[in-house]
Chains A and B, each alone.
Chain A
Amino acid sequence: MSTDNGPASSAPAMLAVPGPDASAAPEPGGAGARPRVVRPWFRLLFSELRLVFLRKRNMLLLAVTALFPLVIGIALRLAAPRSQGANGPGASFFNQLAGNGVFLSFIALSTLLILVLPVVVAVVAGDSVAGEAGYGTLRYLLAVPAGRTRLLAVKFTTIVLFGLCATVIVSAVALAVGAGLFPVGPVTLLSGTTVPLADGLVRLLFVTLYVAAAMAALGAVGLAVSTLTEHAIGAIAAIVILVVTSEVVDNVPQLATIGPYLPTHWWLSFDSVLRAPVDTSTLFKGLLSFGVYTVLFGSFAWARFTSADVTS
């Protein structure tokens, strides 16, 4: 021990000699220091993540979201014998569930994607800028200065991560509940092919990421709405109304021509992943739609946020 300690403790002491000089040069805040970008960006991001994820309201939101797959799983388990051969939306998922618990994840995602997940994203996205404006903290952040573009980028990243977190929670809880209540084994896809469990889990991962991408696009729309007002509740309500309107319009056959351009149209297209071969063209169109919405509304949010007077 003592022979090891000797050279080990003297080495840092020798290395430490040039240390102060080397560290003095890039002293933060020094006028001559090279402007640091990456580390301060992450510092603000962590602050934002702490603010959003540790806020009681948002934690409650995630907890309730986690509860849904549990309730759905138990309900389906109790009703399992009777649900055989049921029709209606998602019926194919339900039929598969009896044979494999993994399908609870797909059922939970497609059920919660109608309203619960969008509401979770709407709350965080709508609150992002409007909430700060409402509290008046926005003027202090900008006077610090946080930088308008930088603050907006951090806000959007946080919304995306929150949406991803909610989606992963639904998938993971549903997977755990499904595995507990139903048999687990090789997965029979919607197209009838049976693939190994590992393959099925990889497909679940892709579905989860696809849904998270859909929520990221919604987050960009929400961010744009949020820059328009200082009333967070108003922004949240507007985003939810937008989602519901889009879903309703998408279900009117006479309006089928505009369907593909609606923000919610491609959300449930993830069932393409559960077929063999995977329908990549549908998935690609969906991802393209999410990308276009993100760029369009992200640009709008940026243009608005970097040019508007902060009057709150």
Chain B
Amino acid sequence: MTAISSSGLTKRFRGGQVAVDHIDLEVPEGSVYGFLGPNGSGKTTTIRMLLGLAFPTSGSAALLDVPMPDGATGVLHRVGSLVEGPAFYPFLSGRDNLARCDSADRTADPRTAPARIGEALDRVGLLAAAKKRYRNYSLGMKQRLAIAASLLRPRELIILDEPTNGLDPQGTREVRALVRHIAADGTTVFVSSHLLAEVEQICTHVGVMRTGRLVFQGSLPELRRTGAARVIVRTADPEGAVKVLAAIGLTDTQAGTDEASAALGDAEPERVCAELVQAGIGVRGFAVASPSLEDLFVGLTGEGFDVDG
């Protein structure tokens, strides 16, 4: 089973602007999928289409193998979601807000509602503030209440749109720990963010959006592999080192004041090092470096990337 899939999913707004441009999502069951991209790259519009809130201009999408939006009433109760920030009735308490959500679910058992609501509040640490009006919640509490709403029932898939938006570092850590817990139960988690650093530690897979297109999709190791590793030689003779590196077939060679580097390609680092020593280059240091995920991410999303949101 695929948790989320889409094929050629496209959304063109009435003004003609294409917000989502033929994306083919493939979110494996049991994964923690980081849906990344700068603000305005089409992440939220995609999520709205996945949840049946917005209708695609063309293409199709499916949640848990059920086509959306046609199958919405049959599948959405298996999916918990947080879309574009928390939204509740300001004049109701946290508990009453969750009761309202639960009452809309035609498959939920009203007899177990109080227990389930208490459990969800407990899970996000809001039990003490359950009777407080939503109006008086802090931003972090609002965000956590929204996550609690997605946990009212056991879910097979949880979709979290920017769950750490506006949170302080402490709140961000809490949300991350919560996502880990949810994922540990076997629930597939689809979490969007404009910051790679926020989800890097918890994700198994990532999809990267850029101006409405999905420019990368795969596991984190796959993303790392897209970055070309470089061999870096610290030496007193960079010019000589570059000649040796070029001689054994390495490309993109560069010489600095006390180091030389080249793209590693398919070459074995051990052999490169041995060749350098044999050629009489005094090697002070030898390293193979891969670009950081952040570098790869910025490379994918482009320079216009809005890091601060």
Contact = CB atoms under 8 A, between A and B. Distances in A.
Contact of A140 (B52, B54, B149): B149
Interface stretch (B23-31, B99-107, B283-291): B99-107
Contacts of A56: 91
Contacts of A36: 106
A144 B84 contact: no
A29 B89 contact: no
A311 B54 contact: yes
Interface string A293-312: 00000000000000101110
Interface residues of B, number: 35
Main secondary structure of the interface of B (DSSP, over half): loop
Nearest to B154: A29
A141 B90 contact: no
Interface in B76-123: 76-77, 79, 81, 83-85, 87-92, 99-101, 103-110
Interface string A43-78: 110110001000110000000000000000000000
Nearest to B134: A135
A143 B106 contact: no
Given A29-B153, A136-B87, A309 B106 contact: no
A137 interface: yes
A116 to B, nearest CB: 24
B51 interface: yes
A180 interface: no
Contacts, number: 98
Interface stretch (A13-21, A88-96, A145-153): A145-153
B55 interface: yes
Contact of B107 (A29, A137, A139): A29
Interface in A21-57: 27-29, 35-37, 40-41, 43-44, 46-47, 51, 55-56
A150 B48 CA distance: 20
A143 B73 contact: no
A145 B110 contact: no
A79 B200 CA distance: 79
A143 B109 CA distance: 18
Interface residues on A, range: 20 to 34
B177 interface: no
Contacts of A86: none
Nearest to B90: A135
Contact of B53 (A35, A55, A151, A310): A310
Nearest to A46: B103
A44 B103 contact: yes
A137 B103 contact: no
Contacts of B90: 135
Main secondary structure of the interface of A (DSSP, over half): helix
B91 A55 contact: yes
A51 B89 contact: yes
A39 to B, nearest CB: 8
Most buried by A among B83, B84, B92, B105: B105
Contact of B81 (A43, A47, A143): A143
Nearest to B103: A47
Given A44-B103, A51-B100, A310 B89 contact: no
A150 to B, nearest CB: 8
B89 A135 contact: yes
B77 A29 contact: yes
B72 interface: yes
Most buried by B among A27, A55, A142: A142
A29 B79 CA distance: 13
B83 A139 contact: yes
B53 A142 contact: yes
B87 A139 contact: yes
Contact of A135 (B48, B73, B88): B88
B103 A145 contact: no
B153 A137 contact: no
Nearest to A146: B104
Nearest to A147: B73
A68 B100 CA distance: 33
Most buried by A among B53, B90, B101, B106: B106
A310 B83 CA distance: 11
Contacts of A37: 106
Contacts of A137: 87-89, 100
Contacts of B89: 51, 135, 137
A307 B54 CA distance: 9
Contact of B106 (A51, A135, A147, A307): A147
Contact of B55 (A27, A44, A144, A309): A309
Nearest to B79: A143
B55 A143 contact: no
Q: Closest 10 CB pairs between A and B?
A: A136-B87, A40-B106, A47-B103, A146-B104, A145-B76, A309-B54, A28-B109, A310-B53, A144-B104, A29-B107
Given A46-B103, A146-B104, 7 more contacts: A41-B106, A44-B104, A143-B83, A307-B55, A309-B53, A309-B55, A310-B48
Interface of A: 27-29, 35-37, 40-41, 43-44, 46-47, 51, 55-56, 135-137, 139-147, 150-151, 307, 309-311
26 contacts: A28-B107, A28-B108, A28-B109, A29-B153, A36-B106, A37-B106, A41-B106, A43-B103, A43-B106, A43-B110, A44-B103, A46-B103, A47-B103, A135-B87, A135-B88, A137-B88, A140-B149, A141-B101, A143-B76, A143-B83, A144-B101, A144-B104, A145-B72, A309-B53, A309-B54, A311-B48
